[in-house]
Structures are given as structure tokens and as C-alpha cells.
Structure 1
Amino acid sequence: MPLDGKAGTADQRNAAAQQRALDGVRACIHSGEYAPGQRLVESDLMERFGVTRAAVRLALADLTTEGLVERVPNKGARVRVVSVAEAVEITECRMALEGLCAAKAAARATSADHAALRELVERMRAAIAAGDLLGYSDLNHLMHRRILDISAQRTAISTIERLRGQLVRYQFRLALQPGRPQTSLAEHERIVEAVVAGDAAAAEHAMREHLRQVIAGLATPPAP
């Protein structure tokens, strides 16, 4: 316990400021507002999130560790650019971990979880029907997150979320590939069917096949 109560309060304020900057910049990267390669100017971040330069620097250090930010000599920090080859490697790692989580989810899911997963499928179907491809992309993420939450595999979840955060650029690009959302929907339906049936082996297989198709999509050049 600090001898000076005021010092303790200052430490808490500094920690809160660092967390605010960390959460804020991470959210902007995940949403695509901060694009790959974009410079992250400390003074701009200080003003936007209402924090000190020290808080910004600590937040950027944490995001560098997460693989979302990179330091460029003599130029400062920028949103890290992930190559297609690295994106494929990341998705291959996800395939193993998310396959495991899908199997665990099939074994653990309750009737309430079944209903929530089916509702998400219906929302995904409605987004495609409405031509809301970016909305579908968001629901795609929610579906994966829901299955991870049901699995309760905390170590796998933290690793997967860190890996997924590096693929924002490709997440949106895949959503815009002609025909990909419809194919993706069918893949998610098979995952949900296996989870609802309590078939762990089928759930793992369906998840791995889905991410194998994601890898195939990553290797497809974007439409001109």
C-alpha cells in the first residue's frame, strides 16, 4: 500500500489514462478507422483520447506487443501492415485453435446458447438479403466470438483474439468478394448445426473447413 494516498490516486489515474488510450487506439484499428500503414501521431492521440504523452507511449508499446502497431525508425509508430503470406499463417493458427473451441462449444452449449447461435444465423442471412456486406462481416465476427465464449477456453480465446485483430484489412476485403458472404453463411450454418447437435468432431471439422476457405479467399487477388 502506498504511504501517500494521493500518490496512489495519481497512479490509478495514470493507469486509467493508459487503458483509455490502449482501448481507444485498438478499437480504431479493429474497426478499420486507422488503416494499415497509417501513422499514429502521439499529439493527435493525446488530443483525441484526452491523455498524456506518457499514456500514449505506453499504450503504443502494448499494441506493438500485440502485433497491431509497429515502430518505424525515424518515423514513429504506425498501424502494422500484414502481408497476405502472414495473414495465411495467422489463419492457419486460428484454424487449429478455433477448431478446438468449436468442439468444446459443442460439448458445453446450453439450449439458450443454441437459440442465440440460431438467431445469429438468421441475422447473417438477413444482412446478405439486404446487401449489407459490412454488417454481415460484423455478424461473422460476433458468431465466432459467441462460439469462443461458449467454449470457455480462456487461453485459446486470448490468443485467437490477438490473432484476429491483425486481420481487419482482410476481414473487410473478404466480405466484399463476390459470392463469398453466401458461401460463408453456409459454412457458418454447418458449424452451428454441429454445435447444436452436440457433435464435437463435426463442429471442429466444420470450423476448420470454414477457415480453410478463408485461407483460399485470402489468396484470391482483390477485385479491380
Structure 2
Amino acid sequence: MGERAEIEKPVVDAIREAIIRGEFVPNQRLVESDLSAQFTASRANVRIALLELANEGLVERVQNRGARVRAVSLEEAIEISEVRMVVESLCAEKAAERITDEEIGELKALGKAMRKAVASGDVMGYSGLNQELHRRVREISGQHTAGQVLERLRAQSVRHQFRLAMRPGRPSVSLPEHLAIIDAICAHDPAAAAAAIRQHLSSVIEALREAEQA
């Protein structure tokens, strides 16, 4: 069983990353033979990988039509953000309690890089730093189960998040929210860290609704 998992995991990871990067678009059919050739994997391993990705909510099985990339609606993306608000608040609280001096330096350096990216108009760079900050808060918190949940939620809503990140002026809105998260965690203030996360994700939800109406 362990050997099989070692064989399958690279295939699962490769297809997952392709979906997250947008190489496969919502509702696109995922043909086992094509995936087998693209990722140099057996049909059996591709089939198992698609089942795993269906469990994660990235792929859906359609009767008599195989698998396709699952489309996430705006309503579902908002629900995901609401769940993230609860779970990431927990992570922020724990991170504020556990953070070391070395990790404080790391988060402050991330904040500095985010300021620089926004000032220079580097939207893609800022988007990457945004993801890095949220990932590091999860890691610093030590909440492994929460981290796994959040990673799955992030993967499901990534296309909505990317569209939001590309909106003109959005980085200037989210930058002070992210800096507030960093400041609270680095100050070892769990309550303020949780409040900062809630404020940020409330802003994300509002922006998602506005983007859909635009």
C-alpha cells in the first residue's frame, strides 16, 4: 500500500497543480488516456489520482462521461471564505502564541516585501507573497489538521482568488489588512491576530461579491 501511494502521489500533485494554475479550466473533461500521456503515468494511477482529487473537491465524476474539473460558483467561493475565516482565526491565534523571534523576523520581511510589491505595481509578485504569508501563518500555528483543511479549501477557490487579486486597486486594499495580521502575530496578541484575519476575510467576501457584479 505504501509503495502504491508513493507512485500515485506525484500524479495527484501534478494534476492538482495543473488545475490550480488554470491549465485545466472549469468543466473541462479530464480524459484518462490524455492525462496518462501528459504526466507519464499509468491509466490505473491516473484513475486513482482523479478519485483522490474528487474527494478534495477539485474534480467531479459525471455518469457515463468520466471526470471533469469542478466549477466552483461565487456562492460556494463565499462559503469557503466564511469557513476559512473560522479556521484561519484559530491558526492566527495559535501562531501568535507560538511564534519565535526567528519567525517574527521572517513575517516582518514578508510584510516588507509585500509593501515593495504593491508600491512597484507587481501584482503577481504580491499575489505570491499573499499566499506565502497565509501558508506561513498556518505552519507557525502548528495546527496540522487545520492546515490540511485550509489547503483543500484554497485549491477549490483558487480561480476566484486569482481573479480577485488581479482587480485594479485590490492589493492596496488588502496590504494594510495583511500587515495588521503580521503585526498582531508578531506582538504575541492572539485576540488581535484572530480579529485581523476576520477583518481581512470579510473584506475578501465583500470584494468577491463586488467582482461578480462588475
Query: Where on the TM-score scale, by shorter chain, does this alignment land: which range?
Result: over 0.9
Alignment correspondent of 1:160: 150
Residue among 76, 96, 100 paired with 1:106: 96
Unmatched 5+ residue regions in structure 1? 1-7
Residue among 28, 32, 43 paired with 2:22: 32
Amino acid across the alignment from 1:63? L
Kept in 2: contact 1:134–1:172 (CA 8 A): no
Q: What SS does the aligned partner of 2:68 have? A: strand
Query: Does 2:12 align with 1:22?
Result: yes
Alignment correspondent of 2:136: 146
Larger Rg: 1
Residue among 168, 171, 176 paired with 2:161: 171
Q: Please report the TM-score for the alignment, with normalisation by the length of structure 1.
A: 0.90
Give the CA deviation at 1:177: 1.5
Residue among 156, 165, 186 paired with 1:196: 186
Distance 1:15 1:176 in 2: 37
Distance 2:129 2:34 in 1: 31
Amino acid across the alignment from 1:70? E
CA RMSD of aligned residues (A): 1.6
Give the CA deviation at 1:222: 4.9
Give the CA deviation at 1:187: 0.2
Q: Deviations over 1:146-205 (max 9, x none)?
A: 000000011111111111110111111111112111111110000000011111100000
Distance 1:42 1:196 in 2: 47
Give the CA deviation at 1:43: 1.3
Distance 1:136 1:222 in 2: 22
Amino acid across the alignment from 2:203? Q
Query: Does 2:71 align with 1:81?
Result: yes
Alignment correspondent of 1:115: 105
Kept in 2: contact 1:177–1:222 (CA 8 A): no
Amino acid across the alignment from 1:136? Y
Q: What SS does the aligned partner of 1:77 have? A: strand
Q: What SS does the aligned partner of 1:70 have? A: strand
Kept in 1: contact 2:11–2:39 (CA 8 A): yes
Kept in 2: contact 1:17–1:52 (CA 8 A): no
Moved more, 32-41 or 96-105: 32-41
Alignment correspondent of 1:132: 122
Report the identity percentage: 51
Distance 2:134 2:143 in 1: 13
Amino acid across the alignment from 2:55? T
Query: Does 2:42 align with 1:52?
Result: yes
Kept in 2: contact 1:36–1:169 (CA 8 A): no
Residue among 184, 204, 210 paired with 1:214: 204
Kept in 2: contact 1:20–1:49 (CA 8 A): no
Unmatched 5+ residue regions in structure 2? none
Kept in 1: contact 2:164–2:211 (CA 8 A): no
Amino acid across the alignment from 1:181? P
Amino acid across the alignment from 2:163? R
Give the CA deviation at 1:73: 2.6
Distance 1:147 1:15 in 2: 29
Q: What SS does the aligned partner of 1:15 have? A: helix
Give the CA deviation at 1:30: 1.9
Q: Please report the TM-score for the alignment, with normalisation by the length of structure 2.
A: 0.95
